[in-house]
Amino acid sequence: MSNKNTDGENAVVVTGLRKRYGSVEALAGLDLVVPRGTVYGLLGPNGAGKTTAIRILTTLLRADGGSAEVSGFDVARQPAAVRARIGLVGQHAAVDEILSGRQNLVLFGRLNHLGPERARRRADELLDRFALADTAGLPVDRYSGGMRRRLDLAVGLITAPSVLFLDEPTTGLDPRGRNEVWDAVRALVAAGTTVLLTTQYLEEADQLADAIAVIDSGRVIAEGSPDRLKSMIGGDRVEVVLRRVQDLTRAAEVIAAATGGAPGAAPSGASDGRLEVDRDARRIRALVADRSGALVQVVRALDAAGLETEDVALRRPTLDEVFLQLTGHSATKDSTLEVLA
Amino acid sequence: MSDSIERARWAVIDTWTVTGRDLLHWVRRPGPVLVGLLFPLLIVLMFGYLFGGQMTGFGPAGSGAASGQGYREFLVPGVFGMTMLFGLEITMLAVTVDANRGITDRFRSLAMSPVAVVGGRSVADLLNAVLGLAVMIAGGLAIGWRWRDGLGPALHAVALLLLLRFALIWVGVYLGLMVKGPEAVVAVQILVWPLGFLSNAFVDPATMPGWLGTIAEWNPLSSTVSAVRELFGNPVGQAGQGSWVTEHSMLMATLWPTLLLIVFVPLAVIRYRRLSR
Q: Which domains does chain A have, with CATH numbers?
A: 10-230 (3.40.50.300), 236-315 (3.30.70.100)
CB contact under 8 A, B21 and A96: yes
Give the C-alpha distances (Å, rounded to integers) separating A230 from A41, A233, A269, A290. Answer: 14, 5, 11, 11
- Examine residue B6 and state whether it is found in any structural domain, yes or no: no
Average pLDDT for B3-7:
89
- Examine residue B17 and state whether it is found in any structural domain, yes or no: no
* Three-state DSSP state, B234: coil
Question: Mean pLDDT, 10 residues at a time, over chain A (341 residues)?
Answer: 57 95 92 93 88 93 95 94 90 88 96 94 93 94 90 89 90 83 85 89 86 90 83 76 89 83 42 70 82 82 88 76 68 42 31
* Residue in chain B nearest A58 by alpha carbon: B109
**Contacting residues for A169 by C-beta, under 8 A, at least 6 apart:** A89, A149, A153, A181, A185, A197, A199
- Examine residue B22 and state whether it is found in any structural domain, yes or no: no
- Examine residue B88 and state whether it is found in any structural domain, yes or no: yes
Question: pLDDT category, B76, cuts 50, 70, 90?
Answer: very high
- Examine residue B266 and state whether it is found in any structural domain, yes or no: yes
In this predicted model, what pLDDT tens digit does every residue of B205-261 receive, in sequence order? Answer: 888 888 998 999 999 999 999 999 999 999 887 755 668 888 899 999 999 999 999
Domain encompassing residue B189: 32-55+68-276
CB contact under 8 A, B21 and A59: no
Mutation target among A19, A82, A89, A111 for the B interface, most CBs of B within 10 A: A111
- Examine residue B18 and state whether it is found in any structural domain, yes or no: no
Residue B201 has pLDDT above 60, yes or no: yes
**B272 with B105: CB under 8 angstroms?**
no
Whole-model pTM: value is 0.80
* Average pLDDT of chain B to the nearest whole number: 89
- Examine residue B248 and state whether it is found in any structural domain, yes or no: yes
* Residue in chain A nearest B30 by alpha carbon: A98
What total of structural domains would you count in chain B? 1
A59 interaction partners in chain B (CB closer than 8 Å): 108-109, 276
Give the C-alpha distances (Å, rounded to integers) separating A71 from A14, A79, A269. Answer: 12, 11, 34
B20 interaction partners in chain A (CB closer than 8 Å): 107
- Examine residue B219 and state whether it is found in any structural domain, yes or no: yes
CB contact under 8 A, B24 and A98: yes
CB contact under 8 A, B17 and A107: yes
A108 interaction partners in chain B (CB closer than 8 Å): 106, 110
pLDDT value of position A164 = 94
* Residue in chain B nearest A157 by alpha carbon: B110
**Contacting residues for B26 by C-beta, under 8 A, at least 6 apart:** B33, B128
CB contact under 8 A, B25 and A84: no
Residue B111 has pLDDT above 90, yes or no: no
ipTM: 0.87
Q: Would you list which residues of chain A are within 8 Å, Cβ to Cβ, of chain B?
A: 55, 58-62, 80, 83-84, 86, 88, 90-100, 103, 107-108, 110-113, 139, 155, 159
- Residue A44 to chain B, least CA–CA distance (Å): 22
* Three-state DSSP state, A183: helix
**Residue A61 is nearest to which of B17, B110, B276, comparing CB atoms?**
B276
From the list B107, A60, A78, the residue with the least C-alpha distance to A69 is A78
Measured CA to CA, the distance from residue A82 to residue A210 in angstroms comes to 23
The pairing of strands A283-288 and A65-70 is: unpaired
